[in-house]
Amino acid sequence: MALVPDYLSSLFSLDGRLALVTGGSSGIGEGIAVALAGAGARVVLLARDKARLEAAASRMGAAGWVSADAADRAALTAAAGEVTARFGEPDILVSAAAVNLRPPLGEQTTASWDQTIEANLTAPFLLGQAFGPRMAARGWGRIINITSQQAHRAFGNSGGYGASKGGLAALTRSQSEAWAPHGVCANALAPGFVITPLTAEVSADPVRVAAYAARTHVGRNGLPADFAGAAVLLASPASGYVTGQMICVDGGFSVS
């Protein structure tokens, strides 16, 4: 029996949903934002660079954007309020914004540690606190956090970055425990090596890029568009019984 469009829509359509995507002006965040918009969601982008935000929003037909530094608590809190005031309450929260400061651990300063933890872990916590309880009160919501291979293994000067992503994986489980009984599913996506502005330093080394690609089962490194299907799944009605999970989108990198 052939699948009919109405059935697929009942599973995966995001029509009528508002999605807030941090880091949505580039990289994995932009790839996910494009996918959610394509599935029918009204998408709002949140990132630092206003010019890149405006360009990305125009490319994907986003509902709009708000500029804030994820590592600045006051600015992020103000941005959360601006999102609600201008666009309404998000039904879907995607935390993809991150900084990638990875000095050798012995050279990690408290300043770089604080910046990494604030942007990569505290920001998803604050946004979850802002929107998660209100999603629960409405009886439906989706939280998607972008973690890393370093959430469960040391990899290339993990330092503060690895600690922040490990914490984010744990936060995801806590958000699920708190709000899944009220219809809010919280999950994480863990990339392998993905060629984005965040990995520009590594991407400039063709030997390392080739080695990472060879380690995958599919024989190539990731691209932002590779997260489209998983993101739509986790944002959609189809994931109503999927929560507290960390799903690796890595071409088999994590099991090699």
Where residue 155 falls among pLDDT bands split at 50, 70, 90?
Answer: confident
pLDDT of residue 114 exceeding 90: yes
Neighbours of 56 (CB within 10 A): 23
What domains sit in the chain, N to C, each tagged with a CATH number?
5-249 (3.40.50.720)
Let me know: does 36 contact 231? Beta carbons within 8 Å.
Answer: yes
Catalytic residue, from 7, 161, 212, 241: name it: 161
Per-residue pLDDT tens digits for 80-91: 999 999 999 999
94 backbone dihedrals φ, ψ, rounded to 5°: -115, 120
| Residue 195, number of CB atoms within 10 A of its CB | 18
State the Cα–Cα distance between residues 151 and 256, nearest whole angstrom.
16
Confirm whether 241 is a catalytic residue.
no
Per residue in 121-143, pLDDT (tens digit) is 999 999 999 999 999 999 999 99
Q: Please tell me the pTM assigned to this model.
A: 0.95
Of 5 and 208, the one with more pLDDT: 208
Residue that has been written with the tokens 């050798």 in this structure: 104
Per residue in 246-256, pLDDT (tens digit) is 999 999 999 98
